[in-house]
Amino acid sequence: MTYVDLNPIRAQMATTPETSKHTSIKRRIDAAKQGAQPKRLLPFVGNDRKELPKGLLFDVKDYITLVDDMGKILRNDKRGAIADSTANILNRLNISLENWLKITEEFKYLFTGPVGSLEDLTRYCKHLGMQRRAHLKSCQHWSS
């Protein structure tokens, strides 16, 4: 999602996530300002409950911070280090900073199929009736 939400910034159609038109991050930011959940977007439900409702296992505030920090790195006019708050998020997700930068900057070249944890990939392939897990090595390599 981060990769897609940053497309307008990479294409220089916007300078910040909150000014990028037609992106989920803009909808989430606008809704967050109103204390609401955007319609037709899967909610962020956090990750500290045993029985989770359907939603993204991430806090919306953390996601917005992550997208904003990555946008600062990817924009040519604002090169810099990832903020400490983002490093904490990456640590919680067990993703190295080096892998995160590579995945974010080169996503479309690294993955041509489903992306996610091995558990998610297995569930996805089983749901589609696939006999083997496609793109297993990429998911294993980049999620560690």
Q: What are phi and psi of 138, to 5 degrees?
A: -65, -45
More confident residue, 55 or 17: 17
Mean pLDDT for 28-52 is 74
Which string of b and e fits 97-129 if b means at least 16 CB within 10 Å?
eeebeebbbeeeeebeebbeeeeebeebbeeee
pLDDT value at residue 49 = 55
* Range of 8-22, 60-74, 80-94 with top mean pLDDT: 8-22
pLDDT at position 23 is 92
pTM: 0.47
16-35: average pLDDT? 86
Domain-by-domain residue ranges, the chain? 2-108, 111-144
Quick: pLDDT tens for 69-121.
Answer: 777 776 656 545 566 666 666 776 677 778 777 777 777 776 667 766 777 77
Cβ atoms of 106 and 66 within 8 Å: the answer is no
| pLDDT higher than 70, residue 51 | no
